[in-house]
């Protein structure tokens, strides 16, 4: 099996992009805000939208299901079945996103018939001066207070109760499921997440969202039970930061990400050899090739998104390639 350079996969969504994905990939693309990379996950309520199709038109999910050992490896299949257990995105915030929350695995299992929640991590590629994310509540918030804000759409009070966390290019941050958050505008990032599209959107005013889309199909009071309402103090935010992209050695993300996914910086100039395992490579700089253990070099350049099957074996990078490699937990 060869590494596969993927075409963009940009489902429509409810907020704006600013053309940063198109610029990164060097392609003329719609100014949509998300590129779902090697996705076997569908957008909630939208059929197969969001799922990756390979060059012949087949869904990647179906191709993996037909030969999971070759795609994912024996250990992965024993742990997760034919699910890659990972969704990777490029995300371009052309406006501030609404304050929202993703459920954790326990809540998703009990209320949403899903074994996965949606812990996610962000690796910032570009950020305008002064860019921030709203991340966790800065103080404890009572259940009735939160419910009142959401029912009244008191956006000012909700946002005032969050931490405003500055971000810059090269930063990484883990966002555990249950954490209320909103990306500010002016940010391009790589997002790793559990393979679901489950969200509870606290702030719907001004966004084209239907009633069923904001609570994951649950009654509001039930949906709000997935929100972490206790304070997320500065020391907790600091503990969820990873290594800076420009100088990272090993995993970019803090240890708390390890049960969910792994992201590592790769650099062909240091003789990068990619260990055996299913992974997604996003080339952030340069041009060169990815060469599998047995097979031909696959040419890549800045903006390439590359799916590497388990059966590709040990791969090497050549040229001036730098990027981020994303892997499921345990790989």
- The average pLDDT across 120-134 equals 98
CA–CA distance, 244 with 90 (Å, rounded to integer) = 18
Minimal CA–CA distance to 44: which of 118, 94, 106? 118
Q: What are phi and psi of 28, to 5 degrees?
A: -85, 105
Indicate if 115 and 188 belong to the same structural domain.
yes
Indicate if 117 and 210 belong to the same structural domain.
yes
In tens, the pLDDT along 52-104 reads: 999 999 999 999 999 999 999 999 999 999 999 999 999 999 999 999 999 99
Per DSSP, 59 falls in state B
Indicate if 239 and 308 belong to the same structural domain.
no
In angstroms, what CA-CA distances link 225 with 105, 137, 244?
Answer: 13, 15, 34
Residue 50 sits in which domain range? 4-247
- Residue 129, exposed/middle/buried by CB under 10 A (0-12, 13-18, 19+)? exposed
DSSP 199-268: -EES--TTS---HHHHTTTS-HHHHGGGS--S---HHHHHHTB---GGG--SBSS-GGGTTTEEEEEEEG
In tens, the pLDDT along 204-259 reads: 998 998 777 899 999 999 999 999 999 999 999 999 999 999 877 778 999 999 99
In tens, the pLDDT along 91-124 reads: 999 999 999 999 999 999 999 999 999 999 999 9
CA atoms in the 13 A half-sphere facing the CB of 128: 14
Residue at a domain's end among 223, 247, 271: 247
CB 46 within 8 A of CB 29: no
Residue at a domain's end among 247, 275, 308: 247
The total of structural domains in the chain comes to 2
Minimal CA–CA distance to 138: which of 229, 21, 209? 229
Report percent pLDDT > 90 for the chain: 91
Q: What's the CATH code of the domain at 264?
A: 2.60.120.10
CB 23 within 8 A of CB 318: no
Indicate if 153 and 278 belong to the same structural domain.
no
């Amino acid at each position: 099996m060869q590494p596969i350079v993927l075409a963009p996969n940009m489902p429509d969504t409810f907020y704006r992009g600013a053309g940063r994905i198109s610029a990164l990939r060097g392609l003329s693309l719609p100014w949509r805000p998300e590129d779902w990379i090697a996705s076997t996950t569908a957008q909630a309520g939208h059929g197969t939208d969001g799922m990756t199709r390979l060059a012949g038109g087949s869904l990647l999910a179906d191709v993996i299901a037909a030969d999971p050992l070759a795609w994912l490896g024996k250990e992965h299949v024993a742990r997760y079945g034919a699910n890659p257990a990972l969704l990777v995105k490029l995300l371009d915030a052309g406006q501030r996103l609404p304050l929202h929350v993703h459920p954790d695995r326990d809540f998703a299992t009990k209320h949403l018939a899903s074994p996965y929640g949606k812990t996610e991590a962000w690796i910032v590629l570009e950020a305008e001066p002064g860019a921030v994310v709203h991340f966790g509540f800065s103080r404890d918030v009572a259940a009735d207070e939160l419910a009142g804000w959401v029912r009244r759409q008191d956006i000012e009070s909700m946002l005032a109760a969050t931490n405003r966390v500055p971000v810059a290019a090269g930063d990484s941050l883990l966002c555990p499921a249950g954490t209320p958050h909103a990306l500010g505008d002016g940010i391009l990032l790589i997002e790793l997440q559990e393979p679901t599209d489950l969200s509870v959107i606290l702030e719907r005013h001004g966004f084209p969202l239907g009633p069923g889309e904001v609570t994951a199909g649950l009654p509001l009071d039930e949906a709000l039970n997935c929100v972490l309402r206790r304070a997320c103090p500065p020391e907790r935010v600091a503990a969820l930061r990873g290594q800076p992209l420009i100088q990272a050695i090993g995993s970019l993300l803090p240890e708390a990400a390890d049960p969910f996914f792994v992201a590592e910086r790769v650099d062909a100039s240091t003789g990068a050899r990619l260990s055996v395992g299913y992974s997604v490579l996003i080339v952030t700089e340069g041009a060169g090739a990815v060469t599998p253990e047995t097979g031909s070099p696959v040419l890549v350049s800045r903006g390439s998104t590359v799916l590497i099957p388990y059966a590709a074996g040990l791969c090497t990078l050549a040229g001036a390639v730098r990027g981020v490699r994303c892997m499921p937990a345990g790989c």
